[in-house]
Structure 1
Amino acid sequence: MTDTESPRPLRSLTAVTSRLLVGGSPFEMDMVDIRGRPTRVWKHAPATLRACLEASLEYGDATAVVYGEERLTHAEYYRTAATLAHRLVDEYGIGEGDRVAVAMRNYPEWVVAFFATVSIGAIAVPLNSWWSASELRFGLTDSGAKLLVADGERLERLSGVLSEIGVPSIAVRADAPLPTNSRPWGEVLAEVSPDARLPEAAPDPDGPATIFYTSGTTGLPKGAVGSHRNMIQNIVTGEYTRARTFLRLGLELSEFRAYTEALPTPAILCVLPLFHATGAQSVMLPTLYRGGALVLMYKWDTEEALRLIERERVTSVTAVPAMITQLMTSPHLSDHDLSSLLALSSGGAPAPPAMASRVRGNLNDVLVGQGYGLTECSAAAVTNGGPDYQIRPESCGLPAPTVDVKVVDPADNELPPGNVGEVWLYGPGVVIGYWERPEATADTFVDGWLRTGDLGYLDEEGFLYIVDRAKDMIIRGGENVYCAEVEAEIHEHPAVAEVAVLGVPHEVYGEEVGAVVRPLPGQVLDPEELRSYLEPRIAAFKVPEHVHITKDELPRNAAGKLLKKDIKRRYGWLGE
């Protein structure tokens, strides 16, 4: 469409879906049996994560992974992963169903270790690199990991723990002396042959492939067990969302195909941790499977992100809203050539409706969108983008065609549009269950439906709106902080009588962690001393930024439950 042409009228959703969801199209669906339940799936999605790795052979010398000045082509990435897969089998005895934990920053080795593991039928266990030593220990022992692949910082944090629990490790980018039974990455990998190929294996598409940990309201993390099919659905869902956006704008499917074929090879800036479902499943997987370049960041830095977008000609960024806000408000935004950027998407936390207008004000031609999902449904199940996001910026969007959404009342009866209740999801992304947590699995997964614990409603056109979180949780810059976990740690302090942990509105992070603490009679408690007490016990993002010490009893209802809304109001933490 040229600048002189009149804009095409917005095509109806019904017309768009009728053009996309037809036999023979890339978005054709099929009905399969998954654990005894009929489920719609994308017919042309790859069968397994192993197939995703093997697809890189088609792209040869095209760039696959960028980290700083380091680059791996698709051919090099495949050969390195295939070589490591042989080492896992031959030297560590890793076989089908064995767990291999990965704990490190967003290094290229994370990507290689992940795909080497899942391609031989083993189970990859991404561990939160922000976790403390005790939290990492829990992840290793709870999953029964047979091997750990970790960077130097994580190994140093686990000093003394690994020998105690008897888990061998492969050390990535480690300068300090290594723990007992740990070998450097380079020594394990040794020579990478130009004709390296994966060892023989035939992973079951519906068999376990990953364990992504998600915190529970009890404070103990739970491992969401995902299958190969769970993870690969995002590859096609992302393509479908883009096609839906363009067809809504009036293009024909043939025009969309011509447009996408004319685009440069995608370069995707990965600013989210790969141990998060969004980073691994919505960013890493589709990028590599489609032959794109995954541009990794060690940690979030606004100015570095702008520099990388310009240098690598980045075409898309998926980030939490706080990061997008920081990009758009950077005083150096106009100093960089961002003309390659086609899309900005948010996930991992609720996006403020003002985000779309803020992006359009700075980058008028960039498509803006957001998604909604959980670790338990393999990241994005609902998406909103392009004109639909402009019209309904407060909505998280429409479910993917393979996903069903319903809203239920406390008796689990389905509610009509416009009524607020708990949001339930059904589809090929809903995971198998929680690792060795049968009771938690039974509570959360009902006849194939995922009880999200989020409160929301559907409008007449099927757009989903999330209005509150039924679970007592804070989302700080995309990181989930469960209040019960932090409260339990604070209660361990010998001077504490009672505590309430709650979210404090924040312009950049969305929420920060706040705590109101009443000391025991005769005890003196200082906010800084309490934070120092917590720092070695929980991850840094969980330590309260706001601490109020009070002599008054905290307000509770007749059942003894803390009235957190009253506490927020008392300290001015309700927000607007």
Structure 2
Amino acid sequence: MTDAESPRPLRSLTAVTNRLLTRGSPFEMDVVEIRGTPTRVWSHAPASLRACLETSLEHGDAPALVYGEESISHADYYRTAATLAHRLVDEYGIREGDRVAVAMRNYPEWVIAFFATASIGAIAVPLNSWWTGSELRFGLTDSGSKLLVADGERLDRLADVLPELSIPSIAVRTESALPENSRSWHEVIGQVSPGVRLPEAAPDPDGPATIFYTSGTTGLPKGAVGSHRNMIQNIVTGEYSRARTFMRLGLELSEYQAYVDALPTPSILCVLPLFHATGAQSIMLPILYRGGALVLMYKWDTEEALRLIERERITSITAVPAMITQLMASPNLSEYDLSSLLALSSGGAPAPPAMASRVRGNLNDVLIGQGYGLTECSAAAVTNGGPDYQIRPESCGLPAPPVDVKVVDPVGTELPPGSVGEVWLNGPGVVIGYWERPEATAEAFADGWLRTGDLGYLDDEGFLYIVDRAKDMIIRGGENVYCAEVEAAIHEHPAVAEVAVTGVPHEVYGEEVGAVVHTLPEQFLDADELRSYLEPRIAAFKIPAHIQITKDDLPRNAAGKLLKKQIKREHGWLGEE
């Protein structure tokens, strides 16, 4: 059943919420005290990442991890992770609270190392696989990691610094000679016993489990310290969002559960890096916990993604908007069987409203959605999907029930609906703080609230709209120009694949609006045509005075975020630094 085919009128949000959150439902909540703050949490979320790993034993021979021609069952995935956990304890002396860094592409070994580490109460430290050797060195020293699990490419980058750090390493998929104090993955794992079980451990749900480094688009990256409870909330939040979508279409909760039970085993195409919060927390965790298959991609490739959707019978994808745009623009789209695809969501970067119409024009039966969150709130805190996304494609949605959202002015006073201010979040996903950064922690977190640095507003029904990053907002002659609004208007042009809007220094106005536009293949667009297109859509002062048209992809970091400072530098728009 899809939103396009629903024979029933939309049920009200209030009625759906009341049905879903009743005591005894899969989505009931409790209130627990987290670091002195009473916080709503999902009652039926697993207790820890260890508990998530243990559920794989229940799923037996069903595929858990797929990479290329490799397929690892849930049972073998658990046994390998349990074996590695014993090696970490017995051979490397890893204890509760020790940090184990993981630096590699999206390989099955990434997932195994991550869960093996967290299951014994140690702290997993995913490092950005795009980082240079010096950046990887920073991550290792900043986190104080006791062990590194890395692929060959990362070890090559670290060849000159690993000896001085004296950190042992486990080498994954490398053909080069191993560094000093390094052993291969296969040597470390050795024989895997069919009856192996995890070492004894009882991780504290609110104790540190992960350090995910922020993207670092400005300044040095900061390590966001997440607890087990922070991580696992996404498992239930994602399921709640799906249930809300179908109950809005008229189903009862029992009908929705019957519908889900009748679906094929879920499989998700993981096109985002696992070291990013969206990849690990919104994609990896829920699919493995539900017994589905995590289909990993080494790197994004449009045609390879289409091939994998058909071959692996992919049921859902979460990707940054630029990837979804490229999928929809593929000239070979109709040549693939995409009938297994049930849901397509954007995450990791803001989605332009035009994306919904482009997907709907090509894949009419697919449910479309998007989410909003940050590393510091453990990925998705706000979600929008199905009919609500069709009605409000410019909104990132409603907060998950355990999450509170408010919009405040510069002194922290809460603003009424419709007023733009800084978005603050409170809920079970808000992380413990920044690793060994007490001043940065105090600046970003207060009494359970996360100051996101994003500008937005709430409407009368509680839907959240993000209009810009506070630091990205352009002030042109005293007028506020929100980059996201201008980008959304430009995205409506059918020739546009992606766009970055930034401020350009100006002696009189302070700043003018600049836009770099990447056009779709075989599409032509010039600056004057684009300005004419925008004139009836946005105010004159918001129309870019500087427009650069390119056929090249715009630079993004590994999380899919546009590198606007780099874009400004490349086009001479940076001004004095």
TM-score range, shorter chain: 0.7 to 0.9
How far is 1:505 from its partner?
4.7
State the secondary structure of the residue aligned to 2:170: strand
Separation in 1, partners of 2:199, 2:298? 31
Segments of structure 1 that go 5 or more residues without pairing to the other structure are 484-499, 509-538, 557-561, 563-576
State the secondary structure of the residue aligned to 1:344: strand
Change beyond 3 A, Cα 1:29–1:503: farther
What's the CA shift string for 1:209-248, capped at 9, x where partnerless?
0000004575111000000000000000000000000000
Separation in 2, partners of 1:367, 1:337? 17
State the secondary structure of the residue aligned to 1:221: coil
Equivalence for 1:129: 129
Equivalence for 2:507: none
Equivalence for 1:360: 360
For 1:122, give the aligned amino acid.
A
Separation in 1, partners of 2:517, 2:262? 43
For 1:298, give the aligned amino acid.
Y
In the alignment, is the contact (CA less than 8 A) between 2:27 and 2:42 conserved in 1?
yes
Equivalence for 1:186: 186
For 1:467, give the aligned amino acid.
V
For 1:194, give the aligned amino acid.
P
State the secondary structure of the residue aligned to 2:280: helix
In the alignment, is the contact (CA less than 8 A) between 2:4 and 2:364 conserved in 1?
no
For 2:470, give the aligned amino acid.
A
Does residue 157 (structure 1) correspond to residue 163 (structure 2)? The answer is no
What's the CA shift string for 1:107-159, capped at 9, x where partnerless?
00000000000000000000000001111000000000000000000000111
State the secondary structure of the residue aligned to 2:55: helix
Separation in 2, partners of 1:332, 1:451? 43
State the secondary structure of the residue aligned to 1:96: coil
Query: Identity across aligned pairs (percent)?
Result: 81
Equivalence for 2:100: 100
Equivalence for 2:373: 373
Change beyond 3 A, Cα 1:545–1:462: closer
Equivalence for 1:394: 394
Change beyond 3 A, Cα 1:2–1:124: closer
State the secondary structure of the residue aligned to 1:192: coil
In the alignment, is the contact (CA less than 8 A) between 1:130 and 1:540 conserved in 2?
no
How far is 1:192 from its partner?
0.5
For 1:299, give the aligned amino acid.
K
Equivalence for 2:274: 274
Separation in 2, partners of 1:298, 1:4? 34
Separation in 2, partners of 1:472, 1:146? 38
In the alignment, is the contact (CA less than 8 A) between 2:119 and 2:203 conserved in 1?
yes
How far is 1:507 from its partner?
5.4
Change beyond 3 A, Cα 1:89–1:128: same
For 2:225, give the aligned amino acid.
V
Equivalence for 2:261: 261
Does residue 119 (structure 1) correspond to residue 119 (structure 2)? The answer is yes
State the secondary structure of the residue aligned to 2:102: strand
What's the CA shift string for 1:467-512, capped at 9, x where partnerless?
0101359999xxxx9x9xxxxxxxxxxxxxxxx9x9845458xxxx
For 1:383, give the aligned amino acid.
T
Change beyond 3 A, Cα 1:399–1:363: same
Separation in 1, partners of 2:213, 2:249? 39
Separation in 2, partners of 1:368, 1:2? 10
Equivalence for 1:416: 416
Change beyond 3 A, Cα 1:411–1:179: same
Separation in 1, partners of 2:215, 2:329? 32
Equivalence for 1:28: 28
For 2:260, give the aligned amino acid.
T
Segments of structure 2 that go 5 or more residues without pairing to the other structure are 474-482, 488-499, 503-511, 521-559
TM-score by length of 1: 0.84
How far is 1:160 from its partner?
1.5
Change beyond 3 A, Cα 1:2–1:38: closer
State the secondary structure of the residue aligned to 1:197: coil
Equivalence for 1:70: 70
In the alignment, is the contact (CA less than 8 A) between 1:160 and 1:179 conserved in 2?
no
State the secondary structure of the residue aligned to 1:33: strand
Equivalence for 2:543: none
How far is 1:445 from its partner?
0.1
Equivalence for 1:406: 406
How far is 1:252 from its partner?
1.1
For 2:367, give the aligned amino acid.
L
Equivalence for 2:530: none
Give RMSD over aligned pairs: 2.7
In the alignment, is the contact (CA less than 8 A) between 1:384 and 1:396 conserved in 2?
yes
State the secondary structure of the residue aligned to 1:269: strand
Separation in 1, partners of 2:216, 2:344? 30
In the alignment, is the contact (CA less than 8 A) between 2:2 and 2:365 conserved in 1?
no
Does residue 15 (structure 1) correspond to residue 25 (structure 2)? The answer is no
What's the CA shift string for 1:519-569, capped at 9, x where partnerless?
xxxxxxxxxxxxxxxxxxxx999694675587xx9767xxxxx7xxxxxxx
Equivalence for 2:288: 288
How far is 1:255 from its partner?
1.0
Change beyond 3 A, Cα 1:217–1:321: closer
State the secondary structure of the residue aligned to 2:30: strand
In the alignment, is the contact (CA less than 8 A) between 1:11 and 1:250 conserved in 2?
yes
Equivalence for 1:299: 299
TM-score by length of 2: 0.84
- For these two proteins, the number of residue pairs brought into alignment is 506
State the secondary structure of the residue aligned to 2:194: coil
Separation in 2, partners of 1:505, 1:40? 43
State the secondary structure of the residue aligned to 1:106: coil
Change beyond 3 A, Cα 1:2–1:370: closer
